[in-house]
Structure 1
Amino acid sequence: SKHGRERSKYYNKGFEHDDRTMVPHDGTRRVSFKNHGRRNNKHNRQRGWDSKIRALLQDDDVEMNCNSRSSERYNNANVSRKQRRGFHQRLDRPSGRRFLTESPSYWYKVTIRYGGRYEKDYLLKLLGNYIKPLPFIPIGYKVTSNDATFTIEDHNAAEELLNADKRITVNDGFKINLQVRSFNPLVEIGSKITETMTKVMSSRYNPYTKALDLSKFHLDTNFLSENIFCPLNKENVMLAVIGIIYESIPDLVALDLSNNKLSSLNCMKSMVEKVASLKILHIGQNKIRDIKQLDALKGLNLEELVVDGNSLCDKFTSKDEYIRAVRQRFPKVIKLDYVELPPPILFDVEDEDCKLPPSQASFMCDPDRGASVVRAFLEQYYQIYDSDSREALIQAYHDSAQFSLDCVLLPGQHSSTCSAYLPESRNLFRVPSIERRIKLLKVGKNKIVEALKSLPNTQHDPTSFVVDLVLFTPVLIELNVCGLFKEKDKADSAVKYFNRLFVIVPVGTGFCIVNEMLTIMLATPEQVKKVAKLKEVATASISIPVAPGTSTALTLPVELDLATKHQMVTALSLKSGMNLIWSEKCLAETNWNFDQALNSFLQLQKTGS
C-alpha cells in the first residue's frame, strides 16, 4: 500500500545496515552512516561525522584502536585543524596562497618584523634557502626601529617571500613575520653615493675601446657591499651618471645600459649633447614598451643598437617594419640586436656639410667696398657720441629719420641700474598704450638729437665692438653694431651692453641715418670677462717686439692701396676674432705685414697674455 511504501521509505533511513544493491561487487560490504532526525536540526551531534571519518581514512597512519575514543577524537580534530590552517607542502600552491601584484616600479620592499634581533647573514640565508631555486638578491639591507628591510627586484621571489610569512622558524623558536609590498624607491644623491658611483663606473670602463658597461648597475658589488641602493631607472641617478660621463669620459663610444629596468628614456635626452660621440648603445632586457621612447635619443649618430628584450619589440608584425622604425630615429644604424643590417640609404652629404658654419666676430656682406665705409662711419659717430656735446650728430640724421630706445632688465636686476633709460624705453611688451608708443618714437633729426643729449655721457669700448654689415647697396645700407660702454659721470657705474641697428642711405657725398633702434641692458659677467681678455691680447699684439732672426733681409715698405688694406683688416678680424678697429691697429703696428700680425696675435694668445 501507499502507506506501507512510505513507512518502508523512512523506516530504514540510517537505522539498519542495507547491503542490497543491483551492481555486482567483490563481496566487500559497504558501510553507510546517515544523520538521524530532521534535516534542519542544527544541534544534531551526528552532523559532519562522515567528513571527519573520511579525513581519518585518508591518513595511512590512522591508529585503529576501538577502545580509545578520546584518541580518535583528538586525531579527528588535529587533522581538521591542519586542513583549516593550510598545512600543505609549500610548493603545492595551496588554495589560501597570497598573490602579489607586479610593482609599477619593478621593485619590492621586504620588511622583517623584529629582524634587528638577528644577524643579517643568518636571516638572509634562511630566506634564501626557503625560496630556492628562485633568485634571491637583497639590496640595501638596513635595520630601522628593530625591523630589518631590504629591496628585491624579482617578482616571483617577492611573492614567495610574501607566502613565507610565519612559516620560517628562527633559532629561538619564533616564526619570522614578513611583509612584502610594491616599492618606489627615493634615492638621494649625496657625496657618498656619488663617490661610489664614480668608483663603479671607473671599474666598468674600458679605455682601449672607450666602452662603459653599466648593465645591472644596481647589483654592482661596490653598491651591495656598502648597502647602497642605486637603481639606474631613477631619473636623478641617470642624470648623475650622464653628468659623470660628461665630465670624465666625454669621448665615450659604447654604452651598455641593459638589465636596468628602464621604462622611460626621457631623462637621457641630454646625452645627445653631452655624449655626442656615442656610436654603440645597448638598452636590451629593460621595460621599454613603446618605440617612441627612442625619440628622446634622436640626434645620436648610433651605428649599433640593441633593443631586444623589451616589450616594444613584440608590437611589430615584421622584421622590416621594426628596422624601418629604428632607422627613422637613427638612420646610420648598421647593426640591430646583434644582427648586421643592409647599408642604409642616405644622402651623399658629408657630416661637415650638415653643421652650421662657425660664428664670426664680425660679418661684412661686401668687405671690399663696405669695410671702409663702416669703419669711417663708426669712428666719426662714436667720436662725437662719447664727447661732451652730441649736438654735431644732427648732421648724421635725415630730416625724417626715426629713433627708438629700448631698455631691458633681466630677472633679478634692479631698475635703478638703468633708471636713466627706462622712462624713454619703447619696449612694446611693457608699453601697451598706442598713444605712448607714438610719443616715445622720435621722428625728425632735431627730436632725435635732443633725445640723445638727454642720455648720460658715455665712454664706449671699441675692443668690444661686434659689427655686422647685413646689407650694402648703392642706395641702402643696414648696419648692426653691439658692444659695451660705461657712463662717465658715475664712477661706480655698472658696465652696460648696447645693440644699435642703423639703416643708412647715401645723401650727396655722404650718408645719413634714416632709422635707428638702440637697445640697452646690463652686461653679463661673461661678456665683461670675454672683452677684457680680448683687450689684453689685442693690446699686447700691437706692442710686441719682433723676434730677432725672423727676417734675414731688410725690406722696404711697400705702399698698399686702400682696398688691399681693407681686405687685410677683414681677414685678420675673421682669423683672430678681433674687431675691425683693433685688427687695423695691429696691422699698422706691424707695417701691414699680415703674417707677422697674425703670428704675434697667436703667440700671445697661447701664452695667455
Structure 2
Amino acid sequence: MTSTVLGNRTSWEPLRLTHLKPSFNSTDLALASRQDVWHKFIVFDAGKYDKEEVLIAIILACDPEVLLPVMYKVENNNKGTFLTKCTSGVIENLVKQNLSVKLKTGHILKIDIVLGFLGMQDLHLNPHNSITQTLHYKYESVKKILNLDDFQNEKSLGSIYCPISVPRVLLFVLRCAKVGILGNIRETRLPIRELSLRWNGLEGISLFEKFFNYHLTKLDLRHNQITDINSLRYFSEFKITELWLDGNPLCTKYTSPEDYIRGVRNVFRHLQKLDGIVIGVQRKLVPIMQSNYLGDSSRFGLIKQFVRHFFTLYDQDDRIVMKGLYDKNAFYSMTLGSGANYNHKQIAKVFSSNRNLLKFVDYAKCHEFLLQGPEQIISMMRKQPPTTHHLRTFHVDLLNYGESHIAIAVQGVFHFKDFIPPLMTFNRTFILIAKVDNEYNIINDQYHIDMAPPNVTGLDNNSAKLESREAPKISLTVLSPSEKNQLLGFLHELTTMNTAYCQQFLENARWDIRVAINTFMKAYTVNDIPPEAFK
C-alpha cells in the first residue's frame, strides 16, 4: 500500500484480496485497520440466493467480530456487492476461511474484498451513529417502551443491514441503545418497562451483559423463530408479568393450553398474562381465548398479506381496483344488523342488498341478493359508500385450511367516510381457493355489519387506518413463470425475434412489456438489432 498526503487528506491505493489466492500480509493489515475507509465486498453468485440468506451467512462467518453491510445490491452477472466499515479482525477471519462462506443450504459462496475502496469523505455515512439515533427515536421515554419490531427493515436505517436475529448484532444494537437512550448519563442499565422484539427471526436471546433494569415487566416476542422456552432464561431474573409468544414454533410443541402455561412459567415465574390472556386465576367452564387464532401460523404470511391487501383496496374511493380478487364463480352476500335507532335506519337505506332473513318480507329476494361472479359483486360494492377500516381493531380466525383452500373470519371496526360516524363493526368470512402459480382468489365472501357498541370509542385518532394507503400498483418484477412465458410468446409474435433476444429485452425492461416494445421499436428504427435476433 502506498500512502501520500494531499493537503489534509491521506490517499492510498486500494488492495484486492481474492478468493483465488487468499492471503493477508502486513500491508493488507495496515489498510484493513484504518477507520477512515470503506471496504467493498464482492460476493460471487449471490444473485441466486435471497439477500438475507447471503448477508446473514457472511455476518455469522465473521463471529465474534461484527460486520454490518451497507448498500447491498446484485449486479447483472449475479455478483452481490456491499460496503462496510469493519475491524481488521473481520477481514482476517474471512481470509482464514479462504474467503468462502457456507450457506444454510450447504452452498458455498466465494468472496473478494477490495480494501480501502472508498474514503469517509466519499461516503458520509456512520452506521454506528445511524443505529444509535434510530434507537433514540424508537424509545418512548414517558412510557419507557423500546420498540425494536422488524428492526432490520427499519426505514430510518436506510441501506444499513442490521439483523438482530444474529446474537452478536443484537448485542451491538443494545450497546448502541445505551448511548442513544442514556446519553452521557453514567447509568449501566436501560430504563425500560416494555421491550418489543416482534418479527425479528429470533431463535432465542443469550446475552452476557446486564442491559435492562429491574423495572422490565413486559416482553413481546411474537412472530419469531423461538423453539424452546429455555432459550429465554436471560429474562428469568426480571419480574416479567406480561409475555407474548404468539407465532413462534414453541407454541405448537404443547398438547394443551395448561401444558403451555406450565412450561412458560418454569422460566417466567412472575407471569400474570400470557399472549393477552390472564393466567393463574381459577377458571370454571371458561375457555382460554386468544384475540387471533391462526392454527400453527404456517399460513400467517399469506393471511396477513391478504387481509391488508383486501381492505386497502376496499377502502379506495372507487372499488373497481378490486377487479381480479374474486373467482369467476364467487358468491357474495351481505347482512345488516337489526338495530332500531336513527343512525342505523339511515345506513340501512344505503344497503338495498341486505340479505338479513329476519327483515325479509319477500323471501324470493334472498336469492336475488346472493350475488355470483366478479362483475355483479364489484358492481354492488361500488354502490356502497366509501369506508375507513381501523386495522388495529382487527381479529382474524383461521377457520379451516387445506392444500387448495383457506377459510378465514375477520372482524373489526370501521366507519363510513360520507357519514358522521357512528363507528361500525364488521364480520367478514372469506373462503379462498388456490390457483396456478401460488395465487389465491375469493370464492365466497359473507359480509355482516352492525352498529358498534357504545364502549367502542376514540378509535378515529388513535387506531391505525387503511385510508391513507393508495391502491397498490402491480409490479411486473414478480411475475410467475407462466406469465413470463406468455409475455415471451407475445413479444416473439409481435417482433419475430427469437426467444433468447425476447427474454433479453424483457429482462432489461424488468418484464414491463410496454417498455420492452418501445425499446425494440427504437432499436429497430436505427437498425441496432443484430440479424441473429431474428434467426
TM-score bin (small chain): 0.3 to 0.5
Q: Larger strand proportion, structure 1 or 2?
A: 2
Q: Larger helix proportion, structure 1 or 2?
A: 1
Greater RCO, 1 or 2 (C-alpha within 8 Å, sep 6+) = 2
**Normalising by the residue count of structure 2, what TM-score does the alignment of the two structures yield?**
0.32
- Larger radius of gyration, structure 1 or 2? 1
